[in-house]
């Protein structure tokens, strides 16, 4: 990243990348990948689009300077059989179409690779030693940010919200986000699973959230009173608890899928309204998430300390401590 970025700005762009990565599937993932590559490799990266019966040559983009061709797989859920078939078909098809131009090939994906796929890629390397075969995951894509200037990063992710943006958050910014969250939930009248409760102070540390995630939770705390006032003034007194129940359900789903703390956080940002280029709306998103981070069972809370049971001790002897226990002092 540009040398003129503060640690806070770096946190913002890394966090926004994770949120965009979490949002992207199918065509939106392909568009996001192309945007990243065009900023990271200006004048070199080429988008490849399907053209009628000619198709796309089994290629979603390439770097002519290095002869590197990309194939993307970004479904909402991993289907092993489909992925293996896609790798076999797309690699063979790309090699047939591009020939000697293809000196390297990379699978770009949004899920962890199962062992059979890792083995399949190894088999391709053995069968085609003249081609460098790699795979790019979230971290490889995040590293593209290090090649970009501040202007390029802001074009992709917007200006990082500052403290003043959080201070300006009010009902007009909160209301549309809450309505969107409510639209994802069950219809009014669904039974609730408990009321909101305060959170232990150490919750950020316990969950090992990255500095980026923790920073924006802390900034959101500065304006979270607005969220409480919004729910207090709303005509539906159950709205706050229903939204809290929605956050709990989403958190449980993400935990079951195996996401780590920052992966969950990025997907809850998406659940809260996504990564907006408008800094004022982004501040409202993190304000809402900070409010529910503190007041409902998303992420882990500090364990209740256990008080050890005292071990019974024998009565102190009446004799002098210098004398044997069975001998009275003279």
Q: Is the pLDDT of residue 311 over 70?
A: no
Which of 54-68, 84-98, 290-304 comes out lowest in average pLDDT?
290-304
Look at residue 330 in the predicted model and tell me its pLDDT: 33
CATH code at 7-152: 3.40.91
pLDDT-derived band at 288, boundaries 50, 70, 90: very high
User: For residue range 126-146, what is the model confidence (pLDDT) as tens digits?
Assistant: 999 999 999 999 999 999 999
d(CA 252, CA 292): 14
Largest CA distance in the chain: 113
Q: Is 113 left (phi over 0), alpha (psi -120 to 50) or beta?
A: beta
Let me know if 37 is exposed, middle or buried by CB neighbors in 10 A (0-12, 13-18, 19+): buried
In the DSSP assignment, the letter for residue 237 is T
43-73 pLDDT, tens digit per residue, is: 999 998 765 444 568 889 999 999 999 999 9
pLDDT in tens, 240-256: 988 988 888 888 888 88
Residue ranges per structural domain of the chain:
7-152, 161-295
Rounded Cα–Cα distance for residues 321 and 330 (Å) = 13
For residues 68 and 303, the model is more confident at 68
């Amino acid at each position: 990243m540009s040398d003129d970025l503060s640690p806070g700005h770096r946190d913002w762009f890394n966090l926004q990348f994770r949120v965009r990565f979490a949002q992207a599937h199918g065509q939106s993932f392909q568009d996001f990948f192309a945007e990243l590559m065009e900023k990271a490799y200006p004048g070199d990266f080429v988008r490849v689009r399907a053209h009628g019966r000619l198709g796309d040559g089994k290629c979603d983009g390439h770097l002519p300077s290095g002869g590197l061709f990309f194939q993307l797989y970004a479904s909402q859920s991993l289907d092993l059989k489909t992925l293996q078939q896609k790798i076999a078909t797309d690699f063979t098809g790309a090699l047939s179409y591009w020939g000697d131009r293809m000196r390297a090939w990379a699978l770009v994906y949004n899920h962890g690779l199962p062992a059979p796929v890792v083995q399949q890629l190894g088999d391709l390397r053995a069968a085609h030693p003249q081609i460098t075969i790699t795979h790019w995951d979230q971290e490889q894509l995040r590293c593209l940010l290090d090649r970009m200037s501040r202007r390029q990063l802001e074009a992709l992710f917007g200006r990082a919200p500052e403290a003043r943006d959080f201070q300006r958050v009010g009902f007009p910014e909160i209301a549309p986000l809450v309505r969107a969250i409510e639209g994802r939930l069950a219809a009014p009248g669904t039974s609730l699973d408990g009321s909101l409760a305060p959170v232990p102070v150490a919750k950020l540390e316990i969950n090992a959230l990255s500095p980026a995630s923790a920073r924006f939770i802390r900034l959101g705390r500065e304006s979270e009173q607005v969220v409480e006032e919004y729910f207090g003034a709303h005509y539906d007194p159950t709205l706050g608890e229903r939204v809290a129940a929605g956050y709990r359900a989403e958190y449980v789903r993400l935990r079951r899928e195996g996401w780590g703390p920052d992966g969950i956080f990025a997907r809850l940002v998406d659940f809260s309204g996504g990564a907006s280029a408008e800094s004022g709306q982004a501040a409202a998103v993190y304000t809402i998430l900070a409010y529910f981070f503190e007041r409902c069972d998303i992420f882990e809370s500090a364990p209740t300390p256990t008080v050890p049971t005292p071990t019974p001790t024998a009565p102190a002897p009446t004799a002098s401590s210098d004398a044997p226990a069975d001998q009275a002092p003279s």
